[in-house]
Structure 1
Amino acid sequence: MSTVTAILRKKKNSQGLFPLAIRVTKNRKSSYIYTGFNIAENQWDDQKRIVKKNHPNSRRLNNLLLSKMAKISDTVLEVESDSKSTSVSYIKQRIQKGGDTNFFDLAQKHIQTLIRRNQHHQAKTEEGRIKVLKEFSKTTTLPFENITESFLYRFKSYLLGDKKLSERTVVNYLILIRTTFNIAIRDEVIDRDIYPFGRGKVTIRIPESDKVGLNKDEIIKLESLNLESLAKKHALNVWLFSFYLAGIRVGDVLRLKWGDITDGRLNYRMSKNKKLVSLKMPEKALQILDGYKTSDIKKNDFIFPELKKAKLNDSKDVTRKIQTATRKFNRHLSKVATLAKIDKSISMHIARHSFGYISGAKIPIQMLQKLYRHSSITTTVNYQSNFIHNEEDEALDVVLKF
């Protein structure tokens, strides 16, 4: 049997006031529904559970509390008449308004937040993952309490077996679910006691990725190609330009304008973290640019043509055109690799891996951190560990020399 009580929560806000709330308790576990009103501590009668008369709107607030408690009590009775084993978190879900207690509704709010931040590619990817989760659960109304550890293990097996997804991709699905849970807990939509992640529950471990870059000889093969196809040549130019400048991400390459190059330096702001970057333009990169110069270029003109027809005030359109261009580049690069007799897969992102692979131990890790614009040197160390194996190789040789 649940109890419904009006209380003053001891969580003081910046004005020194405390929130009025309704506490629902069952099996010694409590959940709170907030009224949206805050009062001073001396304006609350803790014995009578009412707002004291020294508050100017005490009558209205007390009427509000009575009204809310009546509605909550009705919901509690309704829920418990259906199932005596219902948890307090589920009772709160039924009480809450606006549909946020449905996992999919709150996940959609998360996606909308990504869109407001202009993270359209991630938002689209997350929408696809939610669609798969709906297919698996066979419902569009999934209560948080139904997403148990058992549910997650079954979902993981479904992704690995039926969907044939990689371990790394499955982790991304679990991260989305965990993020939505954290948002629900932060917004007090659910209680932490139904959180299915953490020690002793479902743990998320990101598997090591296999980062493969091209070596120096393979880069030389690409540089030596004489391509007849303009589309393949253009894709290779963009790839090499990225490589020559420490593996600039393709989205940033396509956003570059002629005005970003001054006094032999490239100055631009990274789209991923908004950091400013200033790099000396290598001679090989300048030679590529010579093939794109025209007599009437202006500072605000894009260096490469992919975004010339983009709606620049529409971040979604810009993102879409970058994605389309990247897919096109990758198709051409795959054919370029065959022509160069390189048996490694080549994509735009491999330009960054290739720079890391060739730089190896040649450049101090602190300088690589600056080139990559990593916030933490730990990130750089972890990234380069995919390409530097000198110590392991030497250790192996030492053991086997007998």
Structure 2
Amino acid sequence: MAKVKIVLRKKPNKDGTFPLALRITKDRKTSYIYLKHNIKENEWNEAEQSVKSSHPNSKRLNNFILKKKHEASDKSIEAETQNDDISVKAIKRKVKPVTGATFVPQAQLFLDRLKNAGNFNVYAAEKCRLKIFKDFIGGHDIAFSDITVGLLEKFKRHLKSDRKISDRTIVNYLITIRAVFNQAIKEESLDKKYYPFGGEDKINIKLPESTKIGISLDDVVKLETVKLTNPTHDHARNLWLTSYYFAGMRISDVLRLRWSDFQNERLHYTMGKNNKVGSLKLPEKVQRILEKYEPLKTSPDDLVFPNLKGLDLKNTFEVKKKIAYAVNRCNKILQEYITPIAKIQGKLTTHVARHTFATLAGDKVPLQMLQKLYRHSDVRTTMGYQSTFIYKDADEALEAVIGS
């Protein structure tokens, strides 16, 4: 059984005082929780675990110490009752969670962890969603127990009616709030009984189906051939076409391409999303694009495209942040300038290059080959993704009934 004791830590502060702490011991392992109070060594009665009367606030401080010791003992017993093999660290988390049982501190911890992991894109999106939820609850903190099914249903109506947010995006808000709840439960800061998601009479999150549409082959030809005198516009086109020519390569991987990735008329690169390695033949159309950037080449290992040059590529958060800005700028140019100039009918964004390749591939390319091109770990992922772009069977069935 765990033992809880109040102790005076041995290492003094700069002013000569010593910090008071809760010491939790179990199975010969010890953990400390500091009480944020400091006293002089001669003001502490170690045997009685109390502050001597010589301290000016001894009575108040001893009441505080006694309360904290009782609370820690109760939490320790509760934790061990639930799990006899619980560790001393787990007991410490029970006694003093990382944050309290309110939403805003847990949400900030959630964001901090995303940032520390270098996940800029997820961090930026989640930060925005959490800010909107905080504004909805009045800009102040709220207990998890007050985030009820009723409150979340009201929040959903607010997003749809007042903010004109789509059903698909509303689901993302709920997923974010659910993630903060899950973190709080994992940190043992929250009892599961307050969880408002899943099960009968609770919030059930289901992603609505989304439509993935690429542009037509005619629009691809228009994009290839349209005359663009503005170098920035031409650069945006080059990024889109490079993604398309390499089987819908993700734009984040396009921006990370190095000259050293091209050898013996082939591209050898590792996909950033899943670290899968692969090789593709270098199409002549890509070779013509590369020739435009060759004058900017400073070394064999230099980046092909200039957007990320000068960055410390080991700083994942800053790299993803820069990629996000580059993609947003590129998408704006594609939609606001190039689409009207080239008279393209479909929506044009960097991610549409991936959808366009999938659309034009349709059922012409074997699934195993598409799996290799897309760098999917499981062919079932390829089947699910590609099924969105295959219409032949449905078209033939419709034609068989109503005629061509």
> Which residue of 1 is the match for residue 132 of structure 2?
132
**Distance in 2 between the 1:176 and 1:231 partners?**
36
- The 5-angstrom pairing of residues 89-108 of structure 1 reads 96=96, 99-108=99-108
> Which residue of 1 is the match for residue 275 of structure 2?
274
1:236 aligns with 2:224: no
Corresponding letter in the other structure for 1:115: K
> Which residue of 2 is the match for residue 309 of structure 1?
310
CA contact (8 A) 2:120 2:318 kept: no
CA contact (8 A) 2:97 2:189 kept: no
Which sections of structure 1, spanning at least 5 residues, go unmatched?
Answer: 1-7, 9-18, 22-33, 41-58, 61-65, 76-92
- Deviation, 1:95, is 7.2
- Deviation, 1:239, is 0.5
> Which residue of 2 is the match for residue 166 of structure 1?
166
- Deviation, 1:290, is 1.5
> Which residue of 2 is the match for residue 70 of structure 1?
70
Question: 1:194-229 deviations in whole A, cap 9, x for unaligned?
Answer: 211112121111111121101222211211212222
1:38 aligns with 2:40: no
DSSP-derived class of the 2:294 partner: coil
> Which residue of 2 is the match for residue 144 of structure 1?
144
Corresponding letter in the other structure for 1:280: K
Change (3 A) 1:296 1:381: closer
**Distance in 1 between the 2:74 and 2:366 partners?**
67
DSSP-derived class of the 1:292 partner: helix
Change (3 A) 1:127 1:195: same
Alignment TM-score, normalising by the size of structure 2: 0.76
> Which residue of 2 is the match for residue 283 of structure 1?
284
Question: 1:241-292 deviations in whole A, cap 9, x for unaligned?
Answer: 1100011111111111101111222122222222223222222111211121
* Structural RMSD (CA): 3.0
- The 5-angstrom pairing of residues 243-392 of structure 1 reads 243-294=244-295, 297-334=298-335, 335-392=337-394
DSSP-derived class of the 1:100 partner: coil
- Deviation, 1:39, is 3.4
> Which residue of 2 is the match for residue 4 of structure 1?
none
> Which residue of 1 is the match for residue 84 of structure 2?
none
Corresponding letter in the other structure for 1:184: A
DSSP-derived class of the 2:208 partner: coil
Alignment TM-score, normalising by the size of structure 1: 0.76
> Which residue of 1 is the match for residue 116 of structure 2?
116
Question: 1:77-100 deviations in whole A, cap 9, x for unaligned?
Answer: xxxxxxxxxxxxxxxx99755533
DSSP-derived class of the 2:293 partner: coil
DSSP-derived class of the 2:196 partner: coil
Corresponding letter in the other structure for 1:197: F
Change (3 A) 1:295 1:252: closer
**Distance in 2 between the 1:20 and 1:283 partners?**
73
Corresponding letter in the other structure for 1:385: S
**Distance in 1 between the 2:210 and 2:98 partners?**
40
CA contact (8 A) 2:308 2:322 kept: yes
**Distance in 2 between the 1:229 and 1:147 partners?**
52
CA contact (8 A) 1:246 1:371 kept: yes
Corresponding letter in the other structure for 1:254: L
DSSP-derived class of the 1:293 partner: helix
CA contact (8 A) 1:184 1:190 kept: yes
CA contact (8 A) 1:248 1:352 kept: yes
- Deviation, 1:35, is 8.6
Corresponding letter in the other structure for 2:363: A
- Deviation, 1:314, is 3.2
Change (3 A) 1:265 1:159: same
Question: 1:143-200 deviations in whole A, cap 9, x for unaligned?
Answer: 1111111111111111111111111111111111111111122222212222111121
Change (3 A) 1:316 1:301: same
Question: 1:124-161 deviations in whole A, cap 9, x for unaligned?
Answer: 21111111111111143211111111111111111111
Change (3 A) 1:267 1:36: farther
Corresponding letter in the other structure for 2:397: A
**Distance in 2 between the 1:378 and 1:286 partners?**
33
DSSP-derived class of the 1:266 partner: strand
- Deviation, 1:72, is 6.4
- Deviation, 1:107, is 1.8
**Distance in 1 between the 2:154 and 2:352 partners?**
34
CA contact (8 A) 1:20 1:39 kept: no
Corresponding letter in the other structure for 2:206: R
> Which residue of 1 is the match for residue 215 of structure 2?
214
CA contact (8 A) 2:215 2:347 kept: no
Residue 400 of structure 2: which of 378, 398, 401 is its match?
A: 398
CA contact (8 A) 1:120 1:316 kept: yes
Corresponding letter in the other structure for 2:323: I
**Distance in 1 between the 2:114 and 2:94 partners?**
27
State the identity as a percent.
40
**Distance in 2 between the 1:106 and 1:399 partners?**
57
Q: Which range moved further: 240-249 or 337-346?
A: 337-346
Corresponding letter in the other structure for 1:207: P
DSSP-derived class of the 1:113 partner: helix
**Distance in 1 between the 2:341 and 2:351 partners?**
20
DSSP-derived class of the 1:175 partner: helix
- Deviation, 1:68, is 5.3
